[in-house]
Chains A and B, each alone.
Chain A
Amino acid sequence: MATATIGEPTRRDFLFLTTGAVGAVAVGSAVWPLINQMNPDASTLAAATTEIDVGNIAEGQIVTIKWRGKPVFVRHRTKKEIEDARAVPLSELRDPATDQSRAEKPEWLVVIGICTHLGCVPIGHEGPYEGWFCPCHGSVYDTSGRIRQGPAPYNLALPPYKFAGDTKITIG
């Protein structure tokens, strides 16, 4: 009776390998729901977009709304605020960005109201540029929400948004 040489896979090897492979797939598919359940659920994802009617916001006014649990500043900018923002040379900026890239329609600035330093909510119409001033550690933002002075490293973040008609903005 010929004996199998070492290296020739036996029926047992095949069975071990396939059982192991199928077992790994089974364990993986059993474990995945236990991990994925911690991802945002359907109700959280539904709250991921917020609509806001901007028709009632006066020129010069800043409105704070909640989006995904965070404050968002919607600022109806005056002509002067827009001009001031556009006149700034990029070389002066810590986090260079043109005002045009930050406001699709120049009279509406929509930024996330969280200081990029350590997370406090800055105060509007304050600071040397009349943009925002963060009272926690003194960061100063201009009328485009860009960092100008103080310890914050980045400009106020931009949420994804689009205009649905002239007086409605959908954020997220």
Chain B
Amino acid sequence: MSGPSTYVPKSGLARWFESRLPLLGLIHSSFIVFPNPRNLNYWWTFGGILAFMLVAQIATGVVLVMHYTPETTLAFSSVEHIMRDVNYGWLLRYAHANGASMFFIAVYIHMFRGLYYGSYKAPREVLWILGVIIYLLMMATGFMGYVLPWGQMSFWGATVITSLFSAIPFVGDSITTWLWGGYAVDNPTLNRFFSLHYLLPFMIAGVVVLHIWALHVPGSNNPAGIEKQTEKDTLPFHPYFTVKDGFALVCFLIFYSWFVFYVPNYLGHADNYIEANPLQTPAHIVPEWYYLPFYAILRSIPSKLGGVVAMFGAIAIFAFLPWLDTSKVKSAAYRPVYRFFFWVFVACALLLGYIGAQPPEGGYVLAGRLLTAYYFIHFLVILPLIGLFETPRTLPASISDAVLGSHLSPGAVAAQVSRKG
């Protein structure tokens, strides 16, 4: 994207097209010759995996819509019709439902890679914020998608989450009524969630385009956290990273397939196989696993409005990360103090997830509050302070030095050869 393309197509037809719309050149420069740091590890394959999962969810989703009916008396049975009557309907439904979980597993790994290696730091702040936007859109999409089968969890999860908006002072009730299209979650709510659930993935696709564009300005970060300096630091995207991403994708698909074919309901909730009953709430309402940490935070604050603010704040705080972390060193590989607190944060997030799945009783309540407090302390206190007081390890001179070791880097090898010469 920087400067005119140097790509010259081979065939006459391709040259004719290229001079009118330089699409082939764009693909060539972005995904074939694009220089990537040669020291990338497998944590960098999840971006490609996420792009695949977006396409997979859209494909399975579009075909599911050919058989689904978004009406309260018909929705649940239309999903059963898909499972029982539609050719491969069971496969499409399980692929889409488990695909959502896989999408979130991949996005959490992708985000935590960013947290560990400082991928959110300058000059990648906008890239990071676009990622936060994608994450928010994913959460909205997943929430609305879960409502569509109109099971008990669909209905009551929708009721709980839409009721959150009534916490807003003055306008809360009006906003909630507006969201519902009525006085409770009912047919109007289901219909509009269906429309938006179809829409949002295409908005995600648009933001993903911006996300990749923003990435391609500086290029990828890398495990050493130092920017590329010479050509020797990089390798062309194709074939090195196309094959690496392809292999990682295959491994991921094996993991995904394990769920789809052997334990397709493991990540779901049995109560969602009961048709929605507005007059009876299940004993324990839980959202899908990927919302559990934020659900725990919501329930930890005794005030209704406070809980809502804390929950949304816990997501929004990611957008401020480039400025909260004051360290100039990117990669945790060279930041021993930060590395320790990173893993503590991972444990905190996992434990919050566990708490979110438990009933809000007994010891779980105190644990939830302590973990919620620590979550915000990590971002607002620990990160800024570490950057100011930590002594990072010595950074390597260049990416090729980090990969090959300074006595083996191309410059050093050439010097050795000429000495022996």
- Chain A residues packing against B (C-beta within 8 Å): 33-34, 36-39, 41-44
Q: Which of B64-108 contact A (CB under 8 A)?
A: 66-67, 81, 84-89, 91-92
Listed by A's residue number, 22 A-B pairs whose Cβ atoms lie within 8 Å are A33-B87, A33-B91, A34-B60, A34-B63, A36-B87, A36-B88, A37-B63, A37-B66, A37-B67, A37-B86, A37-B87, A37-B89, A37-B92, A38-B63, A38-B66, A39-B87, A41-B67, A41-B85, A41-B86, A42-B87, A43-B85, A44-B85
* B23 at interface, CB cutoff 8 A: no
Among A34, A36, A39, A44: residue with most chain B CB under 10 A: A34
- Chain B residues packing against A (C-beta within 8 Å): 59-60, 63, 66-67, 81, 84-89, 91-92
**Which A residue's beta carbon lies closest to that of B56?**
A30
User: Chain A residues near B87 (CB, 8 Å)?
Assistant: 33, 36-37, 39, 41-42
**Which B residue's beta carbon lies closest to that of A31?**
B59
**Which A residue's beta carbon lies closest to that of B90?**
A33
A41 to B81, CA, bound (A): 9
* Interchain CB contact under 8 A, A41 and B63: no
User: Chain B residues near A33 (CB, 8 Å)?
Assistant: 87-88, 91-92
* Interchain CB contact under 8 A, A43 and B88: no
A41 to B89, CA, bound (A): 9
* 8 closest cross-chain pairs (CB), A and B: A33-B88, A42-B85, A41-B85, A43-B85, A41-B86, A36-B87, A37-B87, A37-B63
Distance in Å: Cβ of B89 to nearest Cβ of chain A: 6
Interface of A is mostly: helix
User: Chain B residues near A39 (CB, 8 Å)?
Assistant: 87
A42 to B66, CA, bound (A): 15
* Interchain CB contact under 8 A, A34 and B59: yes
A44 to B84, CA, bound (A): 12
Among B60, B63, B85, B86: residue with most chain A CB under 10 A: B86
User: Chain A residues near B92 (CB, 8 Å)?
Assistant: 33-34, 37
User: Chain A residues near B66 (CB, 8 Å)?
Assistant: 37-38
Given contacts A38-B63, A41-B89, 18 further A-B contacts (CB under 8 A): A33-B87, A34-B60, A34-B63, A36-B88, A37-B63, A37-B66, A37-B86, A37-B88, A38-B66, A39-B87, A41-B81, A41-B85, A41-B86, A41-B87, A42-B85, A42-B87, A43-B81, A43-B85
User: Chain A residues near B89 (CB, 8 Å)?
Assistant: 37, 41
User: Chain B residues near A43 (CB, 8 Å)?
Assistant: 81, 85
A39 to B60, CA, bound (A): 16
* Interchain CB contact under 8 A, B84 and A42: yes
Distance in Å: Cβ of B367 to nearest Cβ of chain A: 43
A39 to B86, CA, bound (A): 8
Distance in Å: Cβ of B64 to nearest Cβ of chain A: 9
A39 to B88, CA, bound (A): 10
A140 to B91, CA, bound (A): 50
A44 to B89, CA, bound (A): 14
User: Chain B residues near A44 (CB, 8 Å)?
Assistant: 85
**Which B residue's beta carbon lies closest to that of A35?**
B63
**Which B residue's beta carbon lies closest to that of A43?**
B85
A43 to B87, CA, bound (A): 10
User: Chain B residues near A36 (CB, 8 Å)?
Assistant: 87-88
User: Chain A residues near B88 (CB, 8 Å)?
Assistant: 33, 36-37
A50 to B18, CA, bound (A): 58
Distance in Å: Cβ of A12 to nearest Cβ of chain B: 11
A43 to B77, CA, bound (A): 13
Distance in Å: Cβ of B84 to nearest Cβ of chain A: 7
A28 to B343, CA, bound (A): 42
**Which A residue's beta carbon lies closest to that of B62?**
A34
A37 to B60, CA, bound (A): 11
**Which A residue's beta carbon lies closest to that of B89?**
A37
A95 to B59, CA, bound (A): 46
User: Chain B residues near A37 (CB, 8 Å)?
Assistant: 63, 66-67, 86-89, 92
A42 to B87, CA, bound (A): 7
A43 to B86, CA, bound (A): 8
Distance in Å: Cβ of B95 to nearest Cβ of chain A: 9
Distance in Å: Cβ of A111 to nearest Cβ of chain B: 30
User: Chain A residues near B86 (CB, 8 Å)?
Assistant: 37, 41-42
A27 to B62, CA, bound (A): 18
**Which B residue's beta carbon lies closest to that of A42?**
B85
A34 to B86, CA, bound (A): 11
